[in-house]
């Protein structure tokens, strides 16, 4: 028991001495600081990035710039996202008034507008299907004066606070007609008012063919839809309507043709989800990519992928190389010949072309990439370990252990392995950058897992879209690859200085 305690005390003193030497190394301190930063960044990624790096599309405009560029020269024309209501729909009798909708009628009092809790205008699978809607009623009995045309307009005024136009706008509306009597159709027009002039973006004729059917124009209210574009060709609809800072309005207008005094007229409409979203030309810390995805979220989640690939591939490769080198060096003869010729075969193969071929054959999975890097990364280290073992096994303490009756496994694990662990730690640290850069290279060439985002994949998107001038998109992943790789290189050199007896003596 006392011998075991003495051994533990000895190991503890050695570890404290190692930490003391490690703390004196400037390389080690810099490497640790950078590594801790990126490990922390990877751990907090789900908390600091609320968006999915792959599937949260169109958070803002495509290729949106960082918001902080608006404060720099040339950035005054940038705009940001804006939405009239974060909670769409009409869910209470006071929703219309609470949300600030303005209702105008011609002639005055021709329509009755009120909240209907039981009837919804939303589609059956909509989240608003059970929230009710605003009911719009128009009725006139036969013989009473006919106005010729009855018009009701429901609109919401808002202020666009940016000098530049939005990249895109997308309106929403869900509508249901449950009564149509005395007239052939009702006309509906969705518009955005600019400088007091209502500009159309969508119109629909509500006739008997649409009776009782929920209508949701969806993409037809989008400035990128063909029906909106053709209204403002050759101009971009968003740029044509939004001319800069000012007051605007979004709304819908219904027109009932009522010119036959001899018949009774009745129209009943239900309306919900009247909303407008404006997509800005700037977003977040690093802007967006070609699909409107948040680049900062991609950078954060890409840290996890790079660390995963670097650490797992390196650990597996070093473990294989260590095992092969120990066995080949200590056993020698036929075992050594077979293992070393296999190692030489892998060493002479061209690395990157082989990686590309294997990645293409096995499929673009991140685990396939890790497996390929691990299986192709051990031969060089195996030769280093073998050379060291060939030297160690000739020393007197190995001969003494064998003379005392120790078996092969005991000699390797108790005497040979501890003497090559210094090399193992150093090579482990130095092999991580190779795995990180290789994975980034494969992803940059397009051989990447489509289900994960990586720094190399980000650079592939930059190259594929030709946006190399967007330095806020190019530099973060490129610098991250360089800095994370540098941190492991500095740690590897620091470990080599501490664990290598020749370097210790030189210092």
Dihedral sign for Cα atoms in the order 428, 431, 435, 437: positive
Kindly report the pTM of this predicted structure. 0.86
Please tell me the total count of domains within the chain: 2
Residues 6+ apart with CB under 8 A from 205: 185, 186, 187, 188
The parent domain of residue 133 ranges over 82-279
Structure tokens, 186 = 């009702």
pLDDT digits (tens, 9 = 90+) for 236-288: 999 999 998 999 999 999 999 999 999 999 999 999 889 999 999 999 999 99
Has residue 3 been placed in a domain? no
CATH number of the domain enclosing 311: 1.10.3720.10
Q: Which residue, among 251, 252, 256, 260, has the nearest Cα to 138 in the 3D structure?
A: 256
Both 34 and 88 in one domain: the answer is: no
CATH number of the domain enclosing 229: 2.60.120.260
CB–CB of 176/215 below 8 Å?
Answer: yes
Both 274 and 297 in one domain: the answer is: no
pLDDT digits (tens, 9 = 90+) for 208-227: 888 888 888 888 999 999 99
Both 14 and 111 in one domain: the answer is: no
Has residue 75 been placed in a domain? no
Both 29 and 99 in one domain: the answer is: no
Helix/strand/coil for 272:
strand
Task: Locate the DSSP E strands across 12-163.
Answer: 82-83, 102-106, 111-116, 133-140, 148-160
Has residue 120 been placed in a domain? yes
Q: Which residues of 47-85 are buried (b: 16+ CB within 10 A; e: fewer)?
A: eebebebbebebbbbbbbbbbebbeeeebeebbbbbebb
Neighbouring C-beta atoms of residue 254, cutoff 10 Å: 23
pLDDT digits (tens, 9 = 90+) for 348-383: 888 778 888 888 888 778 999 999 899 888 999 999
pLDDT digits (tens, 9 = 90+) for 423-461: 898 899 999 999 999 999 989 988 888 899 999 999 999
Strand partners, 30: none
Helix/strand/coil for 203:
strand
Helix/strand/coil for 91:
coil
Q: Which residue, among 27, 70, 138, 15, has the nearest Cα to 281 in the 3D structure?
A: 70
Eight-class DSSP state of 118: S
How far is residue 427's CA from residue 439's CA, in Å, rounded to a whole number? 18
Share of the chain above pLDDT 90, in %: 59
CA distances, 89 to each of 186, 220, 269 (Å)? 22, 19, 15
Q: Which helix (H) or strand (E) holds 277?
A: strand 265-279
How far is residue 234's CA from residue 387's CA, in Å, rounded to a whole number? 73
Both 299 and 273 in one domain: the answer is: no
């Amino acid at each position: 028991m006392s011998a075991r305690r003495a051994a533990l005390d000895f190991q503890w003193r050695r570890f404290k001495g190692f930490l003391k030497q490690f703390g004196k190394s400037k390389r080690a301190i810099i490497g640790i600081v950078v590594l801790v930063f990126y490990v922390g960044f990877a751990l907090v990624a789900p908390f600091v990035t609320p968006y999915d790096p792959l599937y949260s599309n169109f958070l803002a405009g495509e290729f949106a710039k960082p918001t902080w560029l608006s404060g720099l020269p040339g950035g005054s024309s940038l705009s940001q996202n804006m939405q009239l209501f974060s909670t769409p729909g009409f869910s209470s009798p006071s929703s219309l008034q609470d949300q600030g909708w303005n209702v105008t009628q011609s002639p005055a009092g021709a329509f009755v507008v009120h909240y209907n809790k039981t009837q919804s205008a939303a589609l059956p699978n909509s989240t608003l299907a059970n929230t009710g809607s605003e009911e719009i009623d128009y009725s006139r009995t036969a013989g009473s004066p006919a106005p010729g045309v009855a018009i009701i307009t429901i609109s919401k005024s808002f202020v666009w606070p940016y000098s530049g136009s939005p990249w895109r706008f997308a309106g929403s509306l869900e509508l249901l007609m449950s009564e149509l009597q005395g007239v052939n159709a009702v006309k509906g027009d969705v518009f955005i008012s600019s400088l007091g002039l209502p500009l159309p973006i969508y119109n629909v004729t509500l006739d008997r063919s649409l009776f009782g059917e929920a209508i949701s124009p969806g993409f037809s209210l989008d400035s990128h839809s063909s029906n909106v574009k053709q209204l403002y060709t050759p101009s971009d609809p968003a740029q044509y309507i939004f001319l800069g800072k000012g007051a605007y309005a979004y709304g819908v207008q219904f027109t009932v043709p009522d010119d036959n005094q001899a018949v009774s007229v009745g129209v009943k409409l239900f309306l919900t989800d009247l909303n407008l979203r404006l997509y800005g030309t700037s977003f977040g810390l690093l802007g967006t990519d070609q699909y409107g995805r948040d680049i900062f979220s991609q950078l954060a989640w890409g840290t996890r992928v790079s660390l995963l690939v670097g650490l797992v591939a390196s650990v597996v490769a070093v473990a294989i190389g260590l095992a092969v080198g120990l066995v080949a060096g200590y056993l020698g003869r036929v075992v050594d010949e077979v293992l070393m010729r296999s190692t030489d075969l892998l060493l002479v193969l061209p690395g990157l072309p082989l990686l590309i071929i294997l990645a293409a054959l096995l499929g673009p999975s991140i685990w396939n990439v890790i497996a390929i890097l691990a299986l192709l990364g051990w031969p060089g280290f195996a030769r280093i370990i073998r050379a060291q073992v060939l030297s160690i096994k000739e020393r007197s303490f190995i001969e003494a252990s064998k003379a005392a009756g120790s078996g092969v496994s005991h000699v390797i694990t108790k005497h040979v392995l501890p003497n090559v662990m210094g090399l193992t730690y150093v090579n482990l640290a130095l092999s991580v950058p190779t795995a990180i850069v290789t994975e980034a290279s494969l992803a940059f060439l397009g051989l990447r897992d489509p289900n994960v985002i990586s720094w190399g994949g980000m650079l592939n998107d930059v190259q594929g879209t030709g946006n190399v001038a967007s330095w806020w998109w190019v530099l973060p992943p490129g610098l991250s690859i360089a800095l994370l790789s540098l941190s492991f290189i500095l740690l590897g050199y620091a470990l080599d200085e501490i664990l290598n007896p020749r370097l210790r003596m030189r210092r």
